Amino acid sequence: MKKVNLIVIVLLAVAVSTSCKRTLEQQTPNGETTKATTELSWETLLPTTSFNSYSTYWNDLYPWGSDHNGSARMRTQNIATSGGVLTMTAYPGTVSDKASIHYFSGTCYAKQQVTVSASYPKWRVSGEFQNPSVKGTWPALWLNGANQWPPESDIMEFKGSTTCWTNTYKNENGQWSSVGTVISGPANWHTYTAYLTRIGTTSNVSIEYWIDGTKVSTQTGQNFVNEPLNLIIDLQMEGSSGTPGPTGNTVMKARNVTIQRSATL
């Protein structure tokens, strides 16, 4: 009788142990699955090596042509690539058709657009840049509505000083959001990044702006969802950066520029 009781107790202990183990085994995979679905899985659409195959990934000038706000006429011959680095060079020049043009310079935009949507609610745009910061120089990395303006997101904008501006238009109040961050040595390599994330099921996005791995601002973009955005790199001159601009050559360099998207938040 005692022997039977002992056997029963042992069997019960094993059963309890097995039950606990199964519970743990069931919970652990579920936990891992849940975690996996919440972790970001980035799909790279514009590789960091894109400047090695420039014509595959980039178009010269602005999406609308050669001129914009500022005094530079953009030209293909002011754009060069070598060793994975994009170089834009600006210098004084005039044209017969527009008296307000004082410089020749370069700009380009990615063939891959950024479109925040229900299917891809999170996007990342990033790149490393060496920027001029003297009066009359206006380098920028920005997203601009492909079909209409706004929307606009300025990931990096220097306007004749060492302050980098991150801007969004329109914000939730229909106005500009702008935050300035002083950069030590803009002519050295620095990394500028933006994360665009859909806010719930709305048409608005939250935009986090990062510089060298530090978040400097979070802004809201109104009606950005389902609006294709062009990614533009340009070395504009004068305009908002002041006049007169430099009398010699001005150089802006870029490398490791990328566009990524995620189907998860």
Q: Write down the catalytic residue from 128, 157, 227, 238.
A: 157
CATH number corresponding to 43-262: 2.60.120.200
Q: Write down the catalytic residue from 39, 43, 128, 152.
A: 152
Q: Is 39 a catalytic residue?
A: no
Q: How much of the chain, in percent, has pLDDT values that exceed 70? A: 85
Query: From CA 158, how far away is CA 125, in angstroms rounded?
Result: 18
Tell me the average pLDDT across 229-258: 99
Token output for 2: 């005692």
What confidence tens digit (pLDDT) does each residue in 77-120 have?
999 999 999 999 999 999 999 999 999 999 999 999 999 999 99
Query: From CA 107, how far away is CA 64, in angstroms rounded?
Result: 12
Q: Are 198 and 208 in contact (CB under 8 A)?
A: no
Place of tokens 């009066």: 135
Q: What confidence score (pLDDT) does residue 40 get?
A: 82
Which residues pair with residue 237 across a beta bridge?
137
Q: How many CB atoms lie within 10 A of CB 32?
A: 10
Q: Is 157 a catalytic residue?
A: yes
The residue ranges of every structural domain in the chain are: 1-39, 43-262
Which residues pair with residue 105 across a beta bridge?
74
Q: What confidence score (pLDDT) does residue 39 get?
A: 67
